[in-house]
Amino acid sequence: MQYDVIVIGSGPGGYVAAIRCAQLGLKTAVIEKYSTFGGTCLNVGCIPSKALLDTSEHYHNAAHAFGTHGISLSNLKIDVKKMIERKDDVIAQNTAGITYLFKKNKIDSYEGVGSFVNKNTIKITKKDGATEEITGKNVIIATGSKPTALPFLPIDKQRIITSTEALNLTEVPKHLIVIGGGVIGLELGSVYARLGAKVSVIEYAKSIISTMDGGLGKELQRVLKKSLGMEFFLGHKVTGATAKGKKVTVTAEDSKGQAVSFEGDYCIVSVGRVAYTKDLGLENIGITPEERGNKIPVNDHLETAVEGVYAIGDVVKGAMLAHKAEDEGTYVAERIAGQKPHIDYNLIPGVVYTWPEVASVGQTEEQLKEAGKKYKSGSFSFKASGRAKASGDTDGFIKVLADADTDEVLGVHMIGPRAADMIAEAVVAMEYRASAEDIGRICHAHPTFTEALKEAALAATANRAIHA
């Protein structure tokens, strides 16, 4: 065999798996069909969307918050071209970083589409049609996902677009229609709402971010409506969309089954993602993806039904999160090397990078109720946080859920300033099976946003919050 491990795909799961394999002394190769590494996350997902979110946040604060700080501006405007150029530069820096890491760790890379000839032989088809084959003892499939397409809603990539095209608009929409009230739709919707677009979110479920704790969705909807003027049409079933010239018309049925329509100049379709397995040649090794979501079946060790062939990230069961893929990449690398790694899927945090940010780990109240689990709940509002008052970020709260008998923390759910960073404290605590009392006893620096977590933990422990 030429290689100990061949990784197909260089997104967060793939490149982390490759680096960890190399660190463990395994001769490793990566196959990537695009000219840059990083997959969806670095090129058209997590990283570029955060760059745009950051720019739009600066603009919105300058337009609406600077005055309260005594900072006066005139003739404020957004240079969309410059914003996109900065985003592209951020992408370039990150993808170049992976190229450097591959060279540093002596990882061989191949550009082209990788497909199975047999379980140890991978054919690489290049853009010009030329092919070559490489062999490996183990193969890790890390091909990620792509936006879900609806058969009744054709995407023209001009006016009816996906998240990919939304990252490269040359103008601020006058009226942006977002189909889907999940993470991607809300983040991109908030980018353009901050820049002055009217944004209408159409969601089939009765709440936004419906997979997270119910209280978070309600609070986020309230704040986005108040601060950005975003409209929400929940319980609406989209039936179609058409584009004519610079106008997009979206048709739907409301919660009562009545026909309604929406007119805008752009429409983002963000109704989820589906595992990407095209051209992998899975049929050549006897693997059939699941009908729902196109996921590749794996066992508890992320190994497929074919010995030595593993799959990680968006292409397998579980949440489609870059950090989940990274942990799975590390897990599989260490498993191949003979170690005994561990992943607790209950403790993989979820984040929405709107403002305020939303973050969650562990079980929601809805899940605990459904399971009949007895629990305690403690919440603390950022309105009572000294640090939040100082920065003017008083929307949101932190909720701590703990076992009614043992006080072990079962879930932490927060919406507020820097929640994406603060959730890590909750993850650490839960990894060590901390009690709410434990968190409440930890000395938190004052004034900080994280004091709100301590107060919520105290509230969950005999209603002992000091500042509530």
The domain locations on the chain are: 2-147+274-337, 160-271, 356-462
Q: What global pTM score does this model have?
A: 0.97
- Identify the CATH class of 356-462: alpha beta
Cα distances from 297 to residues 6, 10, 282, in angstroms, run: 19, 20, 12
> Is 425 among the annotated ligand-binding positions?
no
Three-state secondary structure call for residue 34:
coil
CATH 3.90.1300.10 fits 160-271, yes or no: no
Contact 193, 268 (CB under 8 A): no
> Is 187 among the annotated ligand-binding positions?
yes
> Is 314 among the annotated ligand-binding positions?
yes
State residue 430's pLDDT score.
Answer: 98
Omega before residue 447 within 30° of 0, cis: yes
As a whole number, mean pLDDT of residues 236-253 equals 97
What does the CA dihedral 122, 126, 130, 135 come to, rounded to 10 degrees?
Answer: -20
- Domain topology for 2-147+274-337: FAD/NAD(P)-binding domain (3.50.50)
Of residues 219, 207, 212, the one with CA closest to residue 181: 207
The secondary element (H helix, E strand) that includes residue 50 is helix 46-64
Judged against a pLDDT cut of 90, whether residue 333 lies above it is answered with yes
Give residue 275's identity as a one-letter amino acid code.
Answer: A
> Is 38 among the annotated ligand-binding positions?
no
Whole-angstrom Cα distance, residue 204 to residue 191? 22
As a whole number, mean pLDDT of residues 184-189 equals 98
Whole-angstrom Cα distance, residue 239 to residue 431? 44
Whole-angstrom Cα distance, residue 45 to residue 115? 24
State residue 33's pLDDT score.
Answer: 97
446 labelled catalytic: yes
Whole-angstrom Cα distance, residue 289 to residue 296? 5
Neighbours of 181 (CB within 10 A): 26
Whole-angstrom Cα distance, residue 60 to residue 197? 12
State residue 149's pLDDT score.
Answer: 87
Judged against a pLDDT cut of 90, whether residue 258 lies above it is answered with yes
Equal fold, 160-271 vs 356-462: no
Judged against a pLDDT cut of 90, whether residue 64 lies above it is answered with yes
Three-state secondary structure call for residue 302:
coil
> Is 186 among the annotated ligand-binding positions?
yes
Of residues 256, 238, 259, 143, the one with CA closest to residue 185: 238
Whole-angstrom Cα distance, residue 379 to residue 461? 11
Contact 329, 138 (CB under 8 A): no
State residue 1's pLDDT score.
Answer: 86
Of residues 8, 10, 2, 4, the one with CA closest to residue 41: 10
The pair of structure tokens assigned to 346 is 């209950």
Percentage of the chain exceeding pLDDT 70? 100
pLDDT digits (tens, 9 = 90+) for 448-465: 999 999 999 999 999 999
Which residue out of 58, 301, 446, 467 is catalytically annotated? Answer: 446
Judged against a pLDDT cut of 90, whether residue 24 lies above it is answered with yes
**What mean pLDDT is reported for the chain?**
97
> Is 321 among the annotated ligand-binding positions?
yes
As a whole number of angstroms, the longest Cα–Cα distance in the chain is 69
As a whole number, mean pLDDT of residues 247-269 equals 97
pLDDT digits (tens, 9 = 90+) for 199-241: 999 999 999 999 999 999 999 999 999 999 999 999 999 999 9
As a whole number, mean pLDDT of residues 352-374 equals 98
> Is 414 among the annotated ligand-binding positions?
no
The secondary element (H helix, E strand) that includes residue 165 is helix 163-166
pLDDT digits (tens, 9 = 90+) for 118-158: 999 999 999 999 999 999 999 999 999 999 988 899 999 99
Long-range Cβ contact pairs of 317-324 (< 8 A, separation 24 or more): 318/345, 318/348, 319/348, 319/350, 320/145, 320/273, 321/348, 321/350, 322/11, 322/12, 322/13, 322/41, 322/45, 322/46, 323/12, 323/348, 323/349, 324/348
> Is 185 among the annotated ligand-binding positions?
yes
